[in-house]
Structure 1
Amino acid sequence: MLDAVRKTGVRRLVYVSCNPATQVRDIRCLTDCGFKLRSLQPVDMFPQTAHIEVIALLEREKFLS
């Protein structure tokens, strides 16, 4: 999936994940190919458990002003 995203001209990407470790790995890959992490927002969908969702907003650097 990441290869497909990198090859498109998509300007913004919203990445929602329930696995912070794989999300970090994937965001690192995306930033290496020109995306910039703009924000992260954790969401506690399952209170009183260790499970969280994390929403990340990434933008391609060449489109940033």
Structure 2
Amino acid sequence: RKGCDETLLQTIIAMKPKRVVYVSCNPATLARDLRILEDGGYQTLEVQPVDMFPHTAHVECCALLVKKL
């Protein structure tokens, strides 16, 4: 729930994968981490909420990012 560690995000950026799929249960940390990845050269293509726990307030979010050319 605390999001990704800064070291992990910088490692992902340094490895330069073509695509990153990020799954999060916390919209605030997801937004924070997506901004770091976007500043590192990625573009967020899609964010899809997924109701894994019906009848609760909890929602997972799946984000797809691609490396900018």
Question: Does TM, normalized by the shorter one, top 0.5?
Answer: yes
TM normalised by structure 1 equals 0.91
* RMSD (CA atoms): 0.7
Residues 5-20 of structure 1: matches in 2 within 5 Å? 5-20=12-27
Structure 1 unmatched ranges of 5 or more: none
Give the aligned residue type for 1:7: A
| 1:46 lines up with 2:41 in the alignment | no
Q: CA offset at residue 9 of structure 1? A: 2.2
In the comparison of the two structures, how many residue pairs are matched?
A: 62
TM normalised by structure 2 equals 0.86
Structure 2 unmatched ranges of 5 or more: 1-7
Q: CA offset at residue 39 of structure 1? A: 0.5
Which portions of structure 1, spanning 4 or more consecutive aligned residues, are displaced by more than 4 angstroms? none
Q: Secondary structure of the equivalent of 1:3?
A: helix
Between the aligned partners of 2:34 and 2:10, the Cα distance in structure 1 is: 13
Percent sequence identity over aligned pairs: 50
